Structure 1
Amino acid sequence: MRTGITQDQVNAAADAILSAGENPTVEKIRASLGTGSPNTVTRMLDAWRNRLGERFREMSTLPDVPGSVGQAMVELWRLAVEHANREAAANLKNEGTALESARAELVREIERWETRLQAADAETIQAKAALELAERARQTLDSQLEDNQALRADLVKQRDRLQAIGDHQASEIKELRELLDERDGELRRDREQKETYIRNVEDRAHQEIDRARLDARQWQHRFETLERARQSALVTVQTERDLLRDQLRKADNEVARFKGIASALEKALAKGRTAAPPRSKAKGVVVADAAAKRSRKIAARAPRKP
């Protein structure tokens, strides 16, 4: 924020410019200070000039200054005053021109400010309307803020409750983790024991399998031996059966022959009964009975058909 200049600042700047052999002007003072309005600098520069004359008069009245020196100083003062007056007149003319330019610039500035003021009035009206809207919005926001504060308080309670639940669950989780670690250790040890047991069982199973394979080979050998014996016995039985069939067929032929003989004898006996005497008949009956018994014995000894 810019601040106004003081008389001391203008005096110091003017003294510095004068010490440099230059005439202090409004533009030089403003350039030296970097601030200050032309009107203010002109007024303060006039005060400095008035004070400068008094300072020279004080210097001319010094008691211990010799007369020739005092006369020279007075002459110097006069020349300085004349020069200062000429410079002041020129400066006044320049400053008048500058002031006229400044006045014109000030008029234009006033016109610009009036335009800005009108625009500011319009903006003020809009701002008032916006302020009313903002006030209503503020009231709405205040109501929402109260609701939000109540909601926040409720959320804080819920947060505290959930935090307590979370802490409790965290404690339970920690206990469960410890229990899980313990169970994992037990399961690991149990698994190692089971793996050892399974390896032992597998080893025994492999031994049993090897033993079973050996027994299987032995039983296979026995089976093959028995199968060869069975085949040999089967061949023998079939051979014997074929022999028995041949014998049976021969026996059947013999039985048929004996039956033919018996039939012929019976016919002969029948004829003999009718033609022979009783004694001869008894003899024929005895022969026929003997032949029948012989036939029955042969039939009994003959093997049956399968």
Structure 2
Amino acid sequence: MPKGITQEQVNAVADALVTASERPTVEKIRAQLGTGSPNTVSRMLETWRGALATRLGQVLALPDVPAEAGQAFAEVWRLAVGHAESLAQASLAQEQNALLAAQTSLTQERKIWEIAVAEAQGLAQSAGQAREVAETRLADVQRLVEQQAGQLAELMQQRDGLQQRVDQLAEAFDTHKSVVTTEREALAAHVRAVEDRAHAEIDRAREETKTLQATLRQKEQETSAVASRLETAVASVRAAEHLATEQGARAKTLEQQLARMDGLPAALIASQRALQAATRRESTLQTKLDKLSKVSKPNAIVKKGNQRQDILQERTSD
């Protein structure tokens, strides 16, 4: 900071201004010194002016100055002092007005600064409170960060464990997948083999069915023929039985007649021959009936063939 000015400095600057034919003013002196308040410079300038008359009187009292020159110089000096005083008063009034304006401005600035200081204090107080809140929140955040760091470390350990477990499961899955693929291929091959065998069996069954159907039709034709022959044979048997009955009756009649008639050997012989013929015909018819009963057995074979065909059809539909 610049130091305070002295009276000697103000006097020297004012003398230099007068020597340069300039009127010493507060602004010029402050400009030359580069410091000093207007009040201080104005007071010291008044002191310099008061001492100026004394110094002029000493100059006028010198023995080597003529009286006329001294009077003229004194008159000039008086006029100069009067003019200087008027100028000084005008300058003082201007300086006072400027000082008053400066004081008013300073007052306004002071009020503004006071308001600004109050606001700054309020802001500082708010900032302090905010700092305390921020410090509290910072401590909470630090604790939270520490907790999260611990949780993160734990999660990383869990992640490593889970990754290891995932690797193990992936390896087990690959192994299981290989086994399943092998089993599936084997099962597919088995299914294809079973299907091939089933198709072969179906084809063979179809051929057997065709053969059985042809055999069935042939047997049906034979059965129809045998049935016709059986009906004819039954009719013949019935006729033979009826004839045998008649022959038996006739034989009994002949026996009775032979018992009564001993003289009829030729008729007896003829009756015996007729009886023997009827007996042979009955035996022949009985043999035919036995053969016909044997021929009726293919019906059971045909039924078995139909059942087997139904089973094959069910397999084919599945």
Alpha-carbon distance change, 192 to 96 in structure 1, aligned in 2, over 3 angstroms = same
Percent pairwise identity = 20
Q: What is the deviation of 1:188?
A: 0.7
Aligned to 1:246: 225
Contact 1:262 1:292 in 2 (8 A): yes
Alpha-carbon distance change, 197 to 27 in structure 1, aligned in 2, over 3 angstroms = closer
Contact 1:60 1:73 in 2 (8 A): no
Are 1:300 and 2:300 counterparts? no
Aligned to 1:50: 50
Aligned to 1:255: 234
Contact 1:17 1:23 in 2 (8 A): yes
Q: What CA distance in whole angstroms lies between the structure 2 residues aligned with 1:74 and 1:285?
A: 232
Alpha-carbon distance change, 241 to 42 in structure 1, aligned in 2, over 3 angstroms = closer
With structure 1 as the length reference, what TM-score do the two structures score?
0.55
Give the one of 194, 199, 214 matched to 2:173.
Answer: 194
> Number of aligned pairs?
251
Q: What CA distance in whole angstroms lies between the structure 2 residues aligned with 1:73 and 1:240?
A: 195
Structure 2: state its 5+ residue gaps: 109-128, 259-267, 300-318
Are 1:91 and 2:84 counterparts? yes
For CA contacts below 8 A with separation 6 or more, give which structure has more relative contact order.
Answer: 2
Give the one of 199, 210, 216 matched to 1:220.
Answer: 199
Structure 1: state its 5+ residue gaps: 62-66, 117-144
Q: What is the deviation of 1:244?
A: 2.8
With structure 2 as the length reference, what TM-score do the two structures score?
0.54
Q: What CA distance in whole angstroms lies between the structure 2 residues aligned with 1:228 and 1:292?
A: 45
Q: What is the deviation of 1:90?
A: 1.9
Contact 1:29 1:41 in 2 (8 A): yes
Give the aligned residue type for 2:38: G
Q: What is the deviation of 1:19?
A: 3.3
Q: What CA distance in whole angstroms lies between the structure 2 residues aligned with 1:46 and 1:80?
A: 23
Contact 2:60 2:74 in 1 (8 A): no
Deviation sequence 1:120-140 (CA, Å, 0-9, x none): xxxxxxxxxxxxxxxxxxxxx
Alpha-carbon distance change, 42 to 218 in structure 1, aligned in 2, over 3 angstroms = closer
Aligned to 2:17: 17
Q: What CA distance in whole angstroms lies between the structure 1 residues aligned with 2:209 and 2:169?
A: 55
Deviation sequence 1:30-53 (CA, Å, 0-9, x none): 78679626xx76653332023335
